[in-house]
Structure 1
Amino acid sequence: MPTRTISASRQERLDAIIEVLLADDTTSAQALAESFGISLMTVHRDLDELQRRGIVRKFRGGVSVARTSTYEISAPLRRRLSVAEKVAIAAAAARTVAPGSSILLDDSTTVAAMLDHLVDIEDLHVVTNYLPTLAALTRHGGSTVTGIGGTYDVGHESFLGLGAVDAIRALRVDVAFLSTTTVDVEGLYHQEESIVAVKSAMIRSARRRVLLADSTKFGTTSFHRICDWDVIHEVVTDTAAPAELLDTIRARGVRVTTVEPRPTENTTGRSECDAGADEDEENT
């Protein structure tokens, strides 16, 4: 298969189109053409390219970057959402990792944010199916790494399928850190059956299971249920999560940790955060 080459200028435009769609999901192709000073045909080619990557979803009369109860957005797009909250949540979760432990990291962008806090932990064994995490661990060195194989999924940037499930079932780790798209009073959910199979195997393979989920994921459901709360030991979220729902989760025997994002300005001008000093931990 020939390699697809995207010029730097076009890639910049593709990134800019994503930003526009994130700000206004009702933007039309015609409005995009006028905004970027390009032809309608060029806009449709750009949208086709973004759809090929799994970043946008085209439908008759429009285009969307929003997740639904049956459709999950791609990893490149998820990395742009709730960045401050994810960084704070990940930092709090990483502080619970003990030297000499084995941990399993799923393919979520929230869990991936733990990496910067894990690289200095001694004698750590990390298991993951997420390609960006594998690449980052290779660059950092220091940890023992087990990569979970399977069928590579471009949109999720991870290895899924029966091969991944079988590989996970053969392991037993100290802690699994995972995230998902939606949670409610009954449990955890995801839109895609293939993701549910892998996350379910991860949960069964771990002695302790920790859910990392920002506040936007609370109170709604997706098509497939992953598990009930009785198999989750701890939830780490941000302070904007609905208090009543968190109280109900605590009543199910789950430890809940909330963190306050602290915005800072990085070199690109994007808003990120560190975990706030006033982290709140609640025990049942």
Structure 2
Amino acid sequence: MGESARPRAANARRAEIIRLLQIHGFQSVAQLADLLEVSDMTVRRDLHKLSAAGELRVVHGGASLPHGTLRTADFTSRGAQAREAKRRMARRAVELVEPGATVAVDAGTTTFEVAAALPSSFDGCVISHSVPVLQHALSLSAAQVIGLGGELLAASQAFIGQQTIDALAGLYADILFLGAAAVRSSGTFVATDLERPTKQALVSSANRVVLMADHSKFEVAAPVRLGPLDRIDVLVTDRPLEAGTARAFASAGVEVLTTDSD
């Protein structure tokens, strides 16, 4: 019985390695050993078998997909910040998605985790202007995917501008997962005015808007106001809000979902 279980366990482990690479582009041996709860030696053996089958590339310290990734080093670096908190938030956020729903996903590392958390069997529709989200959507074989073109903003790995806004004019989303650079009691904020019109068009196209903002977004400032809190239906965050901020969200009628009580 133990012997027959080993191939199944190995196959499941290697399938998980490929899934993680599809989401993150690169994983170190140490990261994989920790996530899979196995030894470094076991991970290296799995990587070499997958490499021999042409499913990944073994690189210094870990592995990457054979075709590379469209995500830049900057995007990957930002995504690594509070990654586990973002993953918990994403898992909570995906619980809001109804079967067959049309889901719009904003650009950003936190919203990307929502796309990554969608089950591989998801059979709804994904709308996005985010290059990393669209790349990941290649693995959602049952889903319809609509990419919004426009001018590529390298810093956010997303298409923006009038062409993107025009593409949204004929679209409707059941739910939008929105990102922001900063959140205050007075509203949500973004880093540059280049992003604002596209984000506002995404908000206008959606029946329900879910703001994805970890605790760090309440501790920083950004110069460009995106909109008031009453344009948000749900906030998903990782820590309880400060009392004044919590009152502001409650007054705006925003449901707050927190993943961490610490």
TM superposition score normalised by structure 2: 0.68
2:136 paired with 1:136: yes
Aligned partner of 1:91 in structure 2 is: 91
Alpha-carbon distance between aligned partners in 2 of 1:242 and 1:181, rounded to the nearest angstrom: 18
Structure 2 equivalent of residue 228 of structure 1? 228
1:169, CA displacement in angstroms? 2.3
Q: 2:151: which partner in 1?
A: 151
- Aligned match of 2:47: none
- Stretches of 4+ aligned residues off by more than 4 angstroms: none
Whether the aligned pair in 2 keeps the contact of 1:216 and 1:241 (CA below 8 Å) is no
Give yes or no for contact 1:215–1:242 (8 Å, CA) kept in 2: no
Provide the rounded CA distance (Å) in 2 between the counterparts of 1:100 and 1:108. 24
Does the 8 Å contact 1:210/1:236 carry over to 2? yes
* 1:177 counterpart = 2:177: yes
Q: Taking structure 1 as reference, are residues 190 and 54 closer, same or farther at Cα in structure 2, changes over 3 Å only?
A: farther
Q: Secondary structure at the match of 1:107?
A: coil
What secondary structure does 1:127 align onto? strand
Question: Number of paired residues?
Answer: 192
- The question of 1:190 aligning with 2:190 is answered yes
Secondary structure, counterpart of 1:126 in structure 2: strand
The 2-side partners of 1:135 and 1:54 are apart by 13
Aligned partner of 1:213 in structure 2 is: 213
TM value normalised by structure 1: 0.63
* Structure whose residues are more often helix by fraction: 2
Between the aligned residues of both structures, percent identity stands at 27
Question: What is the Cα deviation at residue 174 of structure 1?
Answer: 0.7
SS of the residue 1:90 aligns to = helix
State the secondary structure of the residue aligned to 2:171: coil
Equivalent-residue separation in structure 2 for 1:84 and 1:251 (angstroms): 30
Q: 1:122, CA displacement in angstroms? A: 4.1
Q: State the SS of the aligned residue for 1:193.
A: coil
State the alpha-carbon separation in 1 of the partners of residues 235 and 168 from structure 2: 22
Structure with more relative contact order (C-alpha pairs < 8 Å, separation 6 or more): 1
1:107 touches 1:129 (CA, 8 Å); kept in 2?
A: yes
Instruction: Please say if residues 86 and 113 of structure 2, whose CA atoms lie closer than 8 Å, have aligned partners that are also in contact.
Output: yes
1:67 equivalent in structure 2: none
- Displacement of 1:147: 0.3
| 8 Å contact kept, 2:122–2:140 | no
- Please state if 1:251 is matched with 2:251: yes
Task: Describe the shift of the 1:224–1:143 C-alpha distance in structure 2 as closer, same or farther (beyond 3 A).
Answer: same
